[in-house]
Structure 1
């Protein structure tokens, strides 16, 4: 049966049920009776004749109602009811692969103590060969102190694992690097920096995600002398995507970027965003703090504003003005990433460039990444789709050129 997708159905609230053939129609009826939108998709029957039906609800409340109704009305005909979000999380989302040959005794002997001893002796004499004879050159620590996980308050480090693992999967897919998801039980930003320093011998780079920006800045300052490449999802991800989206949004509304009047709401949440907006050609930029100034002054600026870049989550922005929603804690769904920025627009390419060159990300590299995103954006959109096959290669190439150019200066 072809899938139906009512407006609002969200795969984040999905279940898969197994029912006998005679109960499949009842599943459709129950889904139609739900208080919210539910999409359904049936798979061919299995060897026993049981049918699998995938149901996507629009919210947690609809899913709760749907699950209870299926159990109540179907009774023993509900052979299985599986919440797919928890099924995906229970696998760990990411696993290691063995690169060394292990098919024969000879292969295994190359992983034994005598073999390791020979390589270690060589590396002690020639430390510059570490990346030649180990896997460090393609191993990245993806780290969080759980201080800014989506819209949660401070979490226990282990509770951040689902979000860190998901980001690890995306970075692995786009870069091919070995991404190690590592939440850190760090009481302070200094503790986080210490954790990065302790891991540095085994990784080429560390990326800080789901971590408060002030913690990121403290860690960066503490690690200034550490050889590990250090990136973060705000400065090396969200800020770049938001700057590119602002430029493209103005262009989409036929507003000259050089004459555009842009208001950035809560700019302190955006890291380098203000500088990147200026670097992209925007010259009239107002930095607005709604906590200190309230909302009314922003409305009074409405007749002198062409675009609002909102990192705060305004409930009632001035009507009639394009608003670019860029709140770090609430990234848009993947399907809507052409209209709203996500760190994954730029972060994979910048990470790949830093690893390829062995150089830390610079302001020039971030500006180059902004331009690459703008160039990859189709007319009518603010950003390229995240599954665009040329997205990460374009950002990587632009950042590599900027980093090698910085080194030559």
Structure 2
């Protein structure tokens, strides 16, 4: 246990801040909390604020799992009794904020400012745009606005959800994408029952956004929606599988091979359940791999993969094998369960590539292409520190490097 004091790094001592409880107790009760933490069935880290004027202390306890947290809350209630002044779950407290909010860009300080927002002012701008439709991005906020859509079909490890139940995950993604790009990212769950309905919704909202990003949506729905939109008016559409996870996974494969001095053209790689990886197989071919086994465990079972393993340099596991073959490195990638942000260099995440690709397509006003994704792969490899699989997500050059490489690829034919 860490003694009560200033908050330390998230995830220390094997704990996970996603399993936390915050309590407010009298200062005299801190000894009881220390005793409860010491008896906990799993690791627990304790952080405490300085005592408030009334002598109370706000203490946050991070556990390693849901079962430890459940035990911890029960024990605190039993041991502290009336001294337990307040209890809150930080996960639900943060979720209740909505995680991000709009801000005013136009001044509304004076009556003159407000007059620039009334119907007469709007009529002048609209009249201009009616005559000059290509000026929309000059005189509206559309170039800064990104729609973050989900139909709830692939949210974490859940079965398909009602769209509104996916909001916490989409709001978190919106925060991360806003931080990485500076765009106004609007979370939008869509109650679409089919890929055709999803495509129709994308088409209907497209006039108000610079781009749309599909997140927490099953890759089959993504592919079908893209196909349905090909005959519609052009719109910048990205997704977290093809433009995020697949790009990062391809870079991780290259880094793994280079660390072992295996040329891509000589590498033997198996991709398990390739349908989950979007364009991953195409990207691996694009970066120079010649021998790729696309292995479907549903059709073939697990035993043939074990027999094949001695001939492989790497297994890319997209399904989460319970018993992967021994003696061959395994790169674990599950689209529904990305690794924690704090350990983002240990496995691909959509945020490795998606922010840079999004910047590139919005800046150039061109749809993402296989060439842009390949350029993003090589940019990620170039930003990866020696000995790592991928660069950390907080690498200051990560998104700019991916954006620059993808922009060059998108404009190379000019």
TM-score calculated relative to the size of structure 1: 0.97
**CA contact under 8 A between 1:6 and 1:38: conserved in structure 2?**
no
SS in 2 for 1:206: strand
Work out which of the residue numbers 285, 293, 318 in structure 2 matches 1:278: 285
Give CA deviations for 1:249-269 in whole Å, capped at 9, x if unaligned.
222334333312111101111
**Structure 1 position 3, deviation (Å):** 5.6
SS in 2 for 1:379: coil
Work out which of the residue numbers 178, 184, 189 in structure 2 matches 1:178: 184
**Equivalent residue, structure 2, for 1:353:** 360
**Equivalent residue, structure 1, for 2:156:** 150
Give distance in 2, aligned partners of 1:369 and 1:16: 41
Work out which of the residue numbers 288, 296, 299 in structure 2 matches 1:289: 296
Give distance in 2, aligned partners of 1:289 and 1:133: 50
**CA contact under 8 A between 2:273 and 2:296: conserved in structure 1?**
yes
Give distance in 2, aligned partners of 1:368 and 1:248: 15
**CA contact under 8 A between 1:200 and 1:227: conserved in structure 2?**
no
**Equivalent residue, structure 1, for 2:309:** 302
**Equivalent residue, structure 1, for 2:132:** 126
Q: Does 1:366 align with 2:373?
A: yes
Moved more, 312-321 or 246-255: 246-255
Q: How does 1:324-363 map onto structure 2 within 5 Å?
A: 324-363=331-370
* Runs of 5+ consecutive residues of structure 1 not aligned to the other structure: none
Q: Does 1:73 align with 2:79?
A: yes
**Structure 1 position 321, deviation (Å):** 1.2
**CA contact under 8 A between 2:21 and 2:62: conserved in structure 1?**
yes
Give CA deviations for 1:13-52 in whole Å, capped at 9, x if unaligned.
0111111110012111101111111111112112222111
**Equivalent residue, structure 2, for 1:384:** 391
Work out which of the residue numbers 196, 200, 208 in structure 2 matches 1:202: 208
**Structure 1 position 82, deviation (Å):** 1.1
TM-score calculated relative to the size of structure 2: 0.96
**Structure 1 position 138, deviation (Å):** 1.1
Work out which of the residue numbers 252, 267, 285 in structure 1 matches 2:259: 252
Give distance in 2, aligned partners of 1:114 and 1:71: 61
**Equivalent residue, structure 1, for 2:269:** 262
Give distance in 1, aligned partners of 2:12 and 2:406: 41
**Equivalent residue, structure 2, for 1:13:** 19
**CA contact under 8 A between 1:239 and 1:271: conserved in structure 2?**
yes
Give distance in 1, aligned partners of 2:283 and 2:13: 35
What is the CA RMSD across the aligned residues, in angstroms? Answer: 1.2
**Structure 1 position 71, deviation (Å):** 0.8
Give distance in 1, aligned partners of 2:196 and 2:143: 26
Give distance in 1, aligned partners of 2:255 and 2:98: 37
Give CA deviations for 1:105-153 in whole Å, capped at 9, x if unaligned.
1001100111111111111111111111111111111000000001100
**CA contact under 8 A between 2:267 and 2:291: conserved in structure 1?**
yes
Count the aligned residue pairs: 407
Work out which of the residue numbers 41, 48, 51 in structure 2 matches 1:42: 48
Q: Does 1:138 align with 2:138?
A: no
Q: Does 1:52 align with 2:58?
A: yes
Go from structure 1 to structure 2 and tell me whether the alpha carbon gap of 1:322 and 1:93 turns closer, same or farther (over 3 Å shift).
same
Give CA deviations for 1:341-362 in whole Å, capped at 9, x if unaligned.
0101000110110000000000
Go from structure 1 to structure 2 and tell me whether the alpha carbon gap of 1:343 and 1:6 turns closer, same or farther (over 3 Å shift).
closer
**Structure 1 position 213, deviation (Å):** 1.0
Q: How does 1:87-126 map onto structure 2 within 5 Å?
A: 87-126=93-132
SS in 1 for 2:61: strand
Give distance in 2, aligned partners of 1:337 and 1:266: 22
**Structure 1 position 7, deviation (Å):** 3.6
Give distance in 2, aligned partners of 1:367 and 1:292: 30
**CA contact under 8 A between 1:245 and 1:339: conserved in structure 2?**
no
**Structure 1 position 2, deviation (Å):** 5.6
Give distance in 2, aligned partners of 1:2 and 1:99: 36
Give distance in 1, aligned partners of 2:298 and 2:328: 21
Moved more, 278-287 or 267-276: 278-287
**CA contact under 8 A between 1:350 and 1:399: conserved in structure 2?**
yes
